[in-house]
Amino acid sequence: MKLRNIAIIAHVDHGKTTLIDVLLKKSGAFRDNQRTEERMMDSNDIERERGITILAKVTSLVWNDTRINIVDTPGHADFGGEVERILHMVDGVVLLVDAAEGPMPQTKFVLGKALKLGLKPIVAINKIDKPEQRADEVLDEVFDLFASLDANEEQLDFPVLYGSAKQEWMSTEPDGPKDSMAPLFDMVLDKVAPPSAEPGAFKMLATTIQSDPFLGRILTGRIVSGTAVPNMPIKALSRDGKQVETGRVSKILAFRGLERQAIEQGEAGDIVSIAGLTKATVADTLCSPEVNEPLTAQPIDPPTLSMTFRVNDSPLAGTEGTKVQSRVIRERLLKEAEGNVALKVEETDEPDAFIVSGRGELLLAILIENMRREGFELGVGRPRVVFQYDKDGNRLEPIEEVIIDVDEEFSGAVVQKLQERKADLLEVRPSGGGRTRLVFTAPTRGLIGYQAELMSDTRGSAIFNRLFHAYEPFRGPIQGRHTGVLLSNAQGEAVAYALFNLEDRGPMMIDPGTKVYAGMIIGEHTRGNDLEVNVLKGKQLTNIRSAGKDDAVKLTTPKRLTLEAALSYIADDELVEVTPESIRLRKAILDPNDRKRAERAANKATA
């Protein structure tokens, strides 16, 4: 059967996964009466809850006797490592752009990677049904983006489609027929070249890895040359050509709709999954025994943020989770780094602590969320940026391009806050829907925790996007959190009466009945210093009663922090305690006397 391999790339929320749903339905991949879910490719629980794609996934459909393998890619910049690997498997890309928002930071990132590999994109302007759509302006912006990324003449002459994935139509004209996805299918068959097959023995570059309880390790990639059949001997070569292991193919799986089916033979050019190896991983070359040269794998952009993961040593350790030992945490982190090439795990001098580096806060927060759902307990430190040094020894820090769409009345506050965080304002221009688009370059460390502040300053109306830009000279110190915290001075359960009397000190972060311990953060102090308080103190009971004295206390709703908000809120001397049931904030050193000694030692060292 004739074959095409394509990836759908776009910024987050521009409609990739919805478009694939429609393509599968229109191609006849399902029966007319078959029940299907919305965003079928988002199979992961966290993907469904957050409405974002985290892991790249493959599906396939048949159109006019041609099998089209389609790869759904993540749209968030933190998962860019997934996109970089996936583009090696395909011969063409469909670049999806929102008709109102236009090209955004991740659009630029994924398009730049695709153009670098020589792929010729098909541009689809999606969500044209929006009342604030501006398709003609967006098309001009897309062309300018291609030009700024040094696209060649062939790539600049890109075909364009307009449509709405939600309304299930695509057309070559903005006001064309609104009843079919056929123009998109036909353009893929016409404009995307069939996969080329090199002569010679079997070779395949592993681009994604999964674990199956029955088949073990499953490696997915595109067969570059030769054929694969079950039970044939193969070996795995690392990127530098060293042999990782030898083995036999136990099963070959191909993508048919949303299912993976066993096939008798994998042909060159097809995207397949191979089971049978136990050590091979992403970026390794799977090949016949006689092959000695590995396939080239693109290096992944370096991580920009790191966090310290440590064993949970709080007084409540082991009461809510089942996986608490350092050995188990280490194995889990190494397993994650194996399949996620954008993640790096390093051991520290302490046996119970590990440094985990990644592309952004969200990537690391998703890893922590997955671990707590699996029963892990751990303590996590504040995110820190990964510095680099030039040949003269000067410190370089990661700088990000930040694009914020905001109502004009809030733009002054946004500019002021970001300039305090050492950001430079590059551009101010009108955006879709009568809003203002602000473009900055800002140090990554200045953006840690900024999103929650932005939402507060703009009453939740801003759209915040960021993308790694470059490593540049260090921009100087940035002031951290302006407030101190309220700390519990004893272990027990918080009492409503005590919380009510402490509300003047600052907003609380816990409810009555919450288990607390000495050194645990229970609220925010209105002043800049930390304050130890007693949240266990109940009301003194006497036999004297007076009218109104015993009314139930009315507490202000506590400030509840999500995992990402907690990670960005804590200071350098604090930790987030993560368990399957709770997210607690605490001081890294719980004993107040030890904490003061450590603080004095740190002050002496800096002096």
Binding site, residues? Answer: 13-18, 126-129
Nearest to 165 by CA among 259, 229, 97: 97
In angstroms, how far is CA 111 from the centroid of its own chain?
Answer: 18
Identify any residues that bridge with 66 across adjacent strands, giving them in sequence order: 2, 63
Cβ burial 482-497 (10 Å sphere, 16+ → b, else e): eebbbbbbeeeebbbb
Q: Answer for the pair 579, 321: CB distance below 8 angstroms, yes or no.
A: yes
Distance CA 568, CA 574 (A): 11
The token duo for 146 is 């291609």
Residues of each annotated binding site for GTP = 13-18, 126-129
Say if strands 485-488 and 531-533 run parallel, antiparallel, or are unpaired.
parallel
- To the nearest 10 degrees (0 to 180), the angle between helices 16-26 and 182-191 is 100
Distance CA 127, CA 124 (A): 10
Distance CA 354, CA 345 (A): 7
Q: How far is CA 298 from CA 36, 86, 205, 242, 283, in A?
A: 36, 11, 11, 17, 8
The token duo for 408 is 């004009």
At 184, give phi and psi (nearest 5°): -70, -45
**Residue 475, SS3?**
coil
DSSP character string of 179-205: S-SHHHHHHHHHHSPPPP-BSSS-EEE
Distance CA 435, CA 578 (A): 39
* Beta-sheet strands, E only, within 269-374: 271-275, 285-287, 305-311, 344-347, 353-358
